[in-house]
Chain A
């Protein structure tokens, strides 16, 4: 989509925070994928002789209340947290994309009705919506992805639709229509590729938000179930030890914070790179 060394890539590289964030995310993802090769440790290996220990050479981030190595749990937790964040955004997009494309393209009464529903859902705080869905679906990784993903649908429909509206009246759409393209071909071949830029940017920013939401459910004990090492669940389990061993809370939280920060910076960088007009003065 973007040519090598295009101005967009140059602009992205020039944004130091975004570039560093992208490198961090790539390293984090690689480490998560290669977790078993990086450490021989088992994230669920109990060691009741060494509970709540501080940072040391043997346990760089210390151990939790069951003597499990926090660093190993963080590493394996990366998989679950990234998976739930990215999964939720993909799920949300899979629902929002067809609805937004269709609603924006056909316009008229259909569009008005869809938008009324989106407005209605929009008013409801996303985390509350995810919580309500989890109350019905139950806990677990898949349900977290579905619940958090569904809560991103209203804003994403709005985003896709506004993209469609901005290109719908362009000349090339009119041209495609005049040479006899069907509506579905116009949507897929002409409208979709031209609206994808802002959608990708927003999706990146949403990954940050969905990681936070999934971690929030994990923290409450309604997310990925123990003993699975998920960042939010690690915070929830460690809560009782806040007075005796705060490191069981600071370390997983720091990883959530830095990772979400990185997604936000990458999203910012992408936006500025793809659309120089919106660059801050």
Chain B
């Protein structure tokens, strides 16, 4: 891996983070009224507002305010929640594990089912499995996540009463949120696996492997699957970022104590320090994941070097 590629990727990641920081910083400025009052919240006393004005250096220039904000954020100081009065970083830290655990579990389940589904579809193109994959793909991309979640609750919690409708108390309460979140990635992972497999199976070296008498099974797994994995892993990495960010509605439907629900609660309470903090944390995680996916190319496929 050449250094210039690494530098280019890192620069890209930094630009994204800088962009999000600027957006999050300007967000409060764009609101009507005094930013100090907006950040302090509706119930703040005059002293509190004055303290925040001092903290944010609101009497100084915009650029100076931004560097203060960025410096604070980089040192883990995301401000104080207007609603609870706790540090925003602590509130996020308390809710972050639930979001990450759910996303990781969902991507694990989605990978297992998706890769199997995609392999079977590629093995028998135009078969029933293949057709049901196309139907499932278009169905999943048309299904609002929150409605899928509500339907699962209606069936499994209301009708059959076998699974809890909300919370995170027992292992059974993980099943419905995971299924809701994984459904969309299953379709995508299966489709990419199928396409990559079909592409690989057309290659010359597959014909060579067959010609020299390798068994179908060996051709398929040893020569096909191994080479098809690269695009699949890319999709999995990118999907994990999307899942972490896209889980907001799933978290709300299942009252899951993650940062997505924290964000929605903060939007309703107009608790801007929390809104800013959660968006920054989301951006940081997604940028980091995308960077890892990019860099993992070279490790997974020695032919690729930048």
List A residues at the B interface (Cβ < 8 Å).
116-117, 119-121, 123-125, 127-128, 131-132, 134-136, 208-209, 212, 215-216, 219-222, 232, 235, 239, 242-243, 246, 249-250, 253, 256-257, 260-261, 263-265, 268, 280-281
Contacts and interface: CB of A to CB of B under 8 A. Distances in A.
Size bracket, chain B contacts: 35 or more
Contacts of A123: 16, 241, 286-287, 290
Nearest to B244: A125
In the A-B complex, the 4 residue pairs with the closest CB atoms: A125-B245, A253-B147, A120-B16, A261-B142
B73 interface: no
Interface of B: 12, 15-16, 19-20, 23-24, 27, 30-31, 125, 134, 138-139, 141-147, 150-151, 153-154, 158, 165, 241-242, 245-246, 248-249, 252, 263-264, 267-268, 275, 279, 282-283, 286-287, 290
A281 B165 contact: no
Given A256-B147, A257-B142, A281-B125, A246 B154 contact: yes
B144 A212 contact: yes
Contact of B139 (A135, A242, A261, A281): A261
Contact of B246 (A127, A215, A221, A261): A127
A220 B249 contact: yes
A197 to B, nearest CB: 21
A253 B158 contact: no
Contacts of A117: 15, 19
A128 B245 contact: yes
A280 B279 CA distance: 39
A124 B286 contact: yes
Nearest to A215: B144
B246 A128 contact: yes
B244 to A, nearest CB: 8
B286 A235 contact: no
Contact of B249 (A120, A219, A249, A281): A219
Nearest to B246: A125
A16 to B, nearest CB: 13
